[in-house]
Amino acid sequence: MDWGFPENVSTFGADIDAAYGAIFYATALMFVIVQGLLVYCIIRFRRREGRKAVPIHGNTRLEILWTVVPFFGVMFIAYTSASVWLDIKSPDRMPEDAMELSVTAQQFEWSVTYPGADGQLATADDYSTRNELHIPVDRAVRLTLHAQDVIHSFYLPELRVKQDAVPGMEIPVWLQATATGEYTLGCAELCGLGHYRMRGTVNVYSQQEFDTWAAEEAAIASGAPASLPPVAAR
């Protein structure tokens, strides 16, 4: 049984996992200390024959202590997560030379639009795939998320990406895969009865395989005969 995250194939995955680990172990340590103290006090100060209870009226030094220590604990968590979050999620820090794709979520499927031969989205030669995301390895990809009906959540666990797609909004996310292979695409927001069906695959190819795949798809989309060499490793 695997208790942790799935395999990481994202350039920023290690930073996320490190922040997660630091927060997990810090809170686990606090949990053990607090519960240990509780059990100790339950046993040490239990009712005994002939021992009288003594009322107490607060302790300023203790109260300052248990306010200041958690304050620094919470600041530690805020700092650890915010620095990673800003690096990954800020639109102005996303790579500028990224490949642009468009993702539309609807009840109950993902549709990914690719720019076609001209490299531009929203032109006549665009083509789309359903419940499949195809990307090249070692290349920054920027996806603009749209939703047609309700809120969905674009979830790529191995690529450490989870971002809501919200009707009326265009939300950018980026990623860069570090290994070829087939990974999971899912919806992480309960979006209706068919929510469980919003599962697909992320296919990470070598650049050469991706170019071949893209040329083939573009040819099919434009209705031209596919006079291309077969893809060896698919």
Binding site for Cu ion (CB under 5 A): 152, 187, 191, 198
Q: Could you tell me the smallest distance in angstroms from the CB atom of residue 37 to Cu ion?
A: 44
Pair 143, 95: CB distance under 8 Å: no
CA–CA gap between residue 9 and residue 68 (Å, rounded):
39
138/205 Cα distance (integer angstroms):
9
Distance between CA 123 and CA 218 in Å, rounded? 12
Nearest approach in angstroms of CB 172 to Cu ion is 19
- For Cu ion, the closer CB: 81 or 144: 144
Number of CB atoms found within 10 A of residue 26's CB: 14
User: Which class for 177: exposed (0-12), middle (13-18), buried (19 or more C-beta within 10 A)?
Assistant: buried
Residue 192 C-beta: closest distance to Cu ion, Å:
7
Cβ-based nearer residue to Cu ion, 80 or 131: 131
- Our CB check for Cu ion shows the closer of 136 and 200 to be 200
Backbone angles phi, psi at 185, to 5 degrees: -120, 130
- Smallest distance, Cu ion to C-beta of residue 131, A: 11
Q: To the nearest whole angstrom, how small is the minimum distance from the Cβ of residue 150 to Cu ion?
A: 7
**Is the Cβ of residue 142 or residue 152 nearer to Cu ion in the bound state?**
152
The dihedral over CA atoms of 163, 153, 25, 7, expressed in degrees to the nearest 10, equals -90
For Cα atoms 88, 115, 96, give the angle at the middle one, nearest 5 degrees: 35
C-alpha to C-alpha distance for 132 and 47, rounded to whole angstroms = 64
Comparing CB distances to Cu ion, the nearer of 147 and 214 is 147
Which of 116/157 has CB closer to Cu ion? 157
Q: What is the smallest separation between the CB atom of 185 and Cu ion, expressed in angstroms? A: 11
Residue 159 DSSP one-character state: G
